[in-house]
């Protein structure tokens, strides 16, 4: 199958970690379903089953939970080159704790769990790719957890700026506040005091 | 090589996820180095390079960071059947942010990163095993991060009790407090009010 532009983004990402033959690439790409979501549109709502993991080609998604007081807590943003889902629901097919929603108009490539597992059998190098992604995501998440326990709000903001430089001036302040775990007013004071 | 008791614990753990031939098992076990640590002994100190990932055969380890005020923040406990390391340092060979220390006398099996990567080439099923472990660890860590952002201290304590039932009455209260992110005094009040 001819490679299209969205797939090219993924192929560039793959080639950072593994090297696939043309046949293997075609087999993989044939299982990816292009999907577009408009800003504020959901890929997954809290309580649904996450059928797919989504590769971000362009745009930006957020994965978040809403607490019993209605406050939104952002687990992560997914910018181009990242996969996003509610991993727990994707693996176990239990109800998702997270919602996944577009922060901007976003172009995605969707991969179902059953297709992913089948591909692991057919193309072991793909299992390597996802093993490496899982390792990196675990490192990032552990670091974020330790940051939340040990850093001040100002330090967490500085870490956010290093982690997502492309988002700092591009997304609403309240989303950054929700990621850092402070009110937008408090974040404004941190930024003013910089 | 004849299977010894510590290796049997790991083999049982492996067989929950993959099935290895006798030759493959022998190849894997030959790379594992048995190691014992006494209570309060370190496997890894903050700032060192994590050479190994450690499988817990018996006992209990904790992975934690110490903040600038000297407070200890526990990322996780590792009980029998779990692997523990500073994953970031293990992968990148940069200085560890975490220390890994024995909570009780502990029996470990150590695996170096270079041996692990070599084994992935020789036994692709092992890459599957670690891919699954990474997925599960990521799910647990994401859940913990969301819990820290959305739950009260009481709810975090209840979650700890479900997550580590074997530790609740077995380790010092101050370690549980350090995991939950409250003072031991505050945790005592939570437990008294149960």
Q: Say what the pLDDT of residue A141 is.
A: 93
Task: Specify the pTM.
Answer: 0.92
Indicate the pLDDT class of residue B194, thresholds 50, 70 and 90: low
For A74-97, the pLDDT digits (tens) are 999 999 999 999 999 999 999 999
Mean pLDDT score of chain B, rounded to an integer? 92
**Residue B60 covered by a domain:** yes
Query: A99 and A178: one domain?
Result: no
Q: Which residues of B touch A (CB under 8 A)?
A: 65, 67, 71, 73, 75, 87-88, 91, 97-98, 120, 124, 127-128, 130-131, 134-135, 137-139, 141-146, 148-150, 181
Q: Domain of B52: which CATH number?
A: 2.60.120.10
Query: A105 and A116: one domain?
Result: yes
**Is residue B5's pLDDT more than 60?**
no
Please indicate whether, in this complex, the C-beta atoms of B146 and A73 are within 8 angstroms of each other.
yes
Query: A159 and A141: one domain?
Result: no
Indicate the pLDDT class of residue A4, thresholds 50, 70 and 90: low
**Residue B16 covered by a domain:** yes
Under 8 Å between Cβ of B75 and B65: yes
**Is residue A192's pLDDT more than 60?**
yes
Please indicate whether, in this complex, the C-beta atoms of B88 and A143 are within 8 angstroms of each other.
yes
Of A163 and A45, the structure prediction assigns the larger pLDDT to A45
Cβ neighbours, 10 Å, residue A7: 21
Please indicate whether, in this complex, the C-beta atoms of A145 and B146 are within 8 angstroms of each other.
no
Min Cα distance A18 → chain B (Å) is 13
Q: Pick the range with the lowest mean pLDDT from B18-22, B146-150, B157-161.
A: B146-150
Domain boundary among A114, A133, A150: A150
Residue B86 Cα distances to A160, A193, B43, B48, B100, angstroms: 22, 34, 10, 10, 8
Query: A37 and A79: one domain?
Result: yes
Length of chain B: 194
| Chain A contact set for B181 (CB, 8 A) | 149
Q: Pick the range with the lowest mean pLDDT from B4-8, B122-126, B140-144, B161-165.
A: B4-8
Query: A157 and A133: one domain?
Result: no
**Residue B194 covered by a domain:** no
Average the pLDDT over B78-87 and give the result.
Answer: 95
Per-residue DSSP letter, B40: T
**Is residue B112's pLDDT more than 60?**
yes
For A138-156, the pLDDT digits (tens) are 999 999 999 888 888 999 9
| Chain B contact set for A73 (CB, 8 A) | 146, 149-150
Query: A64 and A21: one domain?
Result: yes
Sequence-distant (≥ 6) Cβ neighbours of residue A5 within 8 angstroms = none
**Is residue B150's pLDDT more than 90?**
no
**Residue B141 covered by a domain:** yes
Query: Could you tell me the two tokens for B47?
Result: 């700032």
Based on the structure, what is the number of domains in chain B? 1
Average the pLDDT over A126-146 and give the result.
Answer: 94
**Residue B159 covered by a domain:** no
Considering only alpha carbons, which residue of chain A is nearest residue B130? A131
Query: A179 and A89: one domain?
Result: no
**Residue B14 covered by a domain:** yes
Q: Say what the pLDDT of residue B4 is.
A: 52
Per cent of chain A over pLDDT 90 is: 75
| Chain B contact set for A116 (CB, 8 A) | none
Average the pLDDT over A126-138 and give the result.
Answer: 96
Average the pLDDT over B4-21 and give the result.
Answer: 85
Average the pLDDT over B121-139 and give the result.
Answer: 96
Question: Best of A119, A144, A149 to disrupt the B interface by mutation (most B CBs within 10 Å)?
Answer: A149
> For residue A140, what are the domain limits?
5-150
Query: A70 and A155: one domain?
Result: no
**Residue B174 covered by a domain:** no
φ, ψ for residue B49, nearest 5 deg = -95, 130
Query: A121 and A155: one domain?
Result: no
- Give the per-residue SS3 of A77-130: EECCCCEECCHHHHHHCCECCCEEEECCCEEEEEEEHHHHHHHHHHCHHHHHHH
């Amino acid at each position: 199958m001819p490679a299209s532009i969205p797939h090219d983004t993924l192929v560039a990402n793959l080639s950072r970690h593994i090297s696939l033959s043309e046949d293997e690439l075609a087999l993989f790409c044939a299982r990816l379903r292009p999907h577009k979501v408009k800003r504020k549109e959901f890929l997954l709502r809290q309580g649904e089953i996450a059928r797919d993991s989504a590769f971000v080609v362009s745009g930006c998604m957020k994965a978040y939970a809403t607490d019993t007081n209605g406050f939104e807590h952002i687990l992560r943003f997914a910018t181009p080159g990242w996969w996003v889902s509610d991993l727990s629901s994707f693996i176990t097919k239990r109800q998702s704790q997270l919602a996944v929603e577009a922060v901007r108009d976003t172009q995605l490539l969707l991969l179902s769990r059953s297709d992913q597992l089948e591909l692991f059998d057919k193309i072991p190098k793909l299992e390597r790719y996802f093993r490496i992604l899982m390792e990196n995501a675990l490192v990032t998440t552990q670091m974020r957890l330790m940051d939340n326990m040990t850093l001040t709000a100002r330090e967490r903001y500085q870490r956010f700026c290093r982690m997502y430089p492309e988002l700092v001036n591009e997304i609403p302040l309240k989303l950054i506040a929700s990621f850092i775990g402070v009110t937008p007013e408090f974040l404004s004071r941190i930024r003013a005091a910089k």
